[in-house]
Amino acid sequence: MFILSAEEVKWAEEIWQKLDGKLQVVTKRSCDKFPFWSENGLHDDMKDENINCWTNGFWSGINWLMYVGTGKEAYKKTALEGEKLLDKALSRPEMISHDVGFIWMLAARPDWRLTGNHQSWQRLKVAASYLMGRFNPEGGYVRAWDWGKDNMEKVGWTIIDTMMNLPLLYWASEDCGDPRYKFVAMKHTDMVMRDHIRPDGSVYHIVVHDPFTGEAVEKRGLQGYAAESSWSRGQSWAIYGFTLGYLHTGEQEYLATAKKVAHYFIAAVCEDWLPKSDFRSPKEPVYFDSSAGLCAACGMLELAKIVPEYEKRLYVHAAMKLLMNIEKNFADWSTDTDFIIGNSSGWYSKEQNVNIIYADYFFTEAVYKLKNFEPLFW
């Protein structure tokens, strides 16, 4: 565990009450939606546009967190509705990607964990099998995207984002008693350590591999500024993903890598604790990505629980600085709007200063952690 100062405890309590006050209203307004971002302050809905969108589990995730933290049935009802609607996504395997962990670990795992709903277990098992099916045994990696006319050119692509989907495979091994899923997750993680993480702790977004040998043949950027830059949300996926990998396996190399990437992130953001979209982009224009800071904060709070006592405060301090400064500068507590945290970035080259559902999710999860409620996900 980690210890918060009296000021931090007070802040967390006040923010939790604000979250409950706003989300009671927003949950009623968006009870049957799959929000991606907010347009004119109100949630859009990906339900019909893209039922397989990688963000479609985050709204259920927010509502599960609020249900466990408050006991209010409206949150549970909304979370369950989202989980059931996602059955349409499982019925379209041609549209399922590496992001099934983001979707079903947030939408279905809490239901299975809290209620023992066997349908939730089945959803998770099917999703885990889809993710397992993307594994290239010769290359030793889980393949990323399938989309686009150049689909065949992407057979060797891996992306840092997949680290946050691997807990679905660990769940399958732990809950279904099949070690193969864990072996795949660890093979992929070992590849990421070797090919995606630079010596200074910065991260490559995309690595292109020879699909027959696994050799890395090219490094690319996509959502960041450039191939050799440092996309901040990619950094956060690595911090949290390697931390979770350590929690599921006990592999010390995973813990050391999580810390190395976290130290790079802290050094890059500590001037004002407002993460830029890319840590190696030009000074102008300034693009922020609050979602990167919030995901990193979640990872650092988990790190603080498992490192030696003298290291804990480093990660708690950084997480609290990120949370408090992002909330102070980018939060919207009006009940007339649906989003909570603004100034996120989908891509460096587009989708700047937007309100994205996963920023709200990671903010809620981080405050949930500060309140010491029972773990739900990952």
Beta strands 216-220 and 206-209, pairing class: antiparallel
Backbone angles phi, psi at 29, to 5 degrees: -75, -30
Single-letter amino acid, residue 243:
T
Active site residue: 161, 278, 289, 338, which one?
A: 161
Indicate whether 131 belongs to any domain. yes
Indicate whether 377 belongs to any domain. no
Q: What is the pLDDT of residue 349?
A: 84
Indicate whether 153 belongs to any domain. yes
Q: At residue 285, does pLDDT exceed 90?
A: yes
Indicate whether 378 belongs to any domain. no
Q: Is residue 161 flagged as an active site residue?
A: yes
Indicate whether 119 belongs to any domain. yes
Q: At residue 296, does pLDDT exceed 60?
A: yes
Indicate whether 375 belongs to any domain. no
Closest to 369 (Cα-Cα) out of 74, 377, 276: 377
Convert the pLDDT of each residue in 127-151 to its tens digit: 999 999 999 999 999 999 875 555 5
Q: What is the pLDDT of residue 147?
A: 57
Q: What is the pLDDT of residue 93?
A: 77
Number of domains in the chain: 1
Q: At residue 84, does pLDDT exceed 90?
A: yes
For the ranges 85-99, 100-114, 225-239, 283-297, the lowest mean pLDDT is seen at 85-99
Convert the pLDDT of each residue in 85-102 to its tens digit: 999 998 887 778 899 999
Backbone angles phi, psi at 122, to 5 degrees: -65, -40
Convert the pLDDT of each residue in 16-71 to its tens digit: 999 999 999 999 999 999 999 998 999 999 999 999 999 999 999 999 999 999 99
Active site residue: 99, 111, 338, 360, which one?
A: 99
Tokens standing for 166? 């691997």
The whole domain housing 176 covers 6-370
DSSP 229-275: S-BHHHHHHHHHHHHHHHHHH--HHHHHHHHHHHHHHHHHHTTTS--
Alpha-carbon distance 146 to 52, whole Å? 13
Q: Which residues contact 74 (CB under 8 A, 6 or more apart)?
A: 24, 27, 28, 31
Q: Is residue 150 flagged as an active site residue?
A: no
Calculate the dihedral angle through the C-alpha atoms of 299, 302, 303, 304, rounding to the nearest 10 degrees: 130
E strand spans, the chain: 38-39, 42-43, 135-136, 141-142, 157-159, 206-209, 216-220
Indicate whether 221 belongs to any domain. yes
Indicate whether 86 belongs to any domain. yes
Place of tokens 């680290």: 163
CATH code of the domain containing 344: 1.50.10.10
